[in-house]
Amino acid sequence: MVNWTQMRDCYGDVERVPELLEWVELEEDAQAWDELGYRLCLEHDLVSPASFAALPRLVRLASRSARARGLAGAITQRVAGQHGCDDLLADCAEAIVELSELLDQHLRSQPADYLATFRHLLAAEEQYHWSTVLGDFTDDFYQLACPRHRPVDVRDGPP
């Protein structure tokens, strides 16, 4: 059982996260999910004690909720950062294993959110570096020489 009076969220509050978790467990409410996301993973970067305390409940919801799966994955991506919650993280080991299995299963369906899910799976498998640096491949430029149009030295013979 989590002692929520000790679990501050990203805004320093202690009461709001358990209320929001109860709400989203009852029904899929976009506004509640948005607030929960801000409180557990601020600016897609900072996590708090409440983030790790909420992780097992998010993982339980993840099999039926894409928002829970995404938020649990986002928190898992921040595991390697400086969060000061290593003791809480140790309590999440089983939930992270379960999340890994769930993400792997989801990837097999070739979902629209494949890249985000893949990055979350990398984090759940403790590949934190790759989970954060893997880009979306839409804004990179790669210079490749065309083998048919490369300069040929006549001494080399035909291409």
In the chain the beta strands, taken as DSSP E runs, fall at none
Residue 144, pLDDT above cutoff 80: no
Quote the percentage of the chain above a pLDDT of 70.
Answer: 79
Query: Which residue's structure tokens are 């790669």?
Result: 142
- Out of 10-14, 23-27, 52-56, 140-144, least confident range: 140-144
Nearest to 37 by CA among 84, 73, 90: 73
d(CA 48, CA 63): 24
pLDDT tens by residue, 16-54: 999 999 999 998 899 999 999 999 998 767 888 899 899
* pLDDT range class, residue 135, cuts 50, 70, 90: low
Residue 140: per-residue pLDDT: 58
Q: Give the pair of three-digit tokens for residue 73.
A: 């994955």
- Chain centroid to Cα 120, Å, comes to 4
Q: Give the pair of three-digit tokens for residue 121.
A: 């799976």
Q: Are 20 and 36 in contact (CB under 8 A)?
A: yes
For 17, counting Cβ atoms within 10 Å of its Cβ (0-12 exposed, 13-18 middle, 19+ buried), the class is: buried
Residue 42: per-residue pLDDT: 83
Residue 123, pLDDT above cutoff 80: yes
Nearest to 32 by CA among 42, 45, 22, 46: 22
* pLDDT range class, residue 124, cuts 50, 70, 90: very high
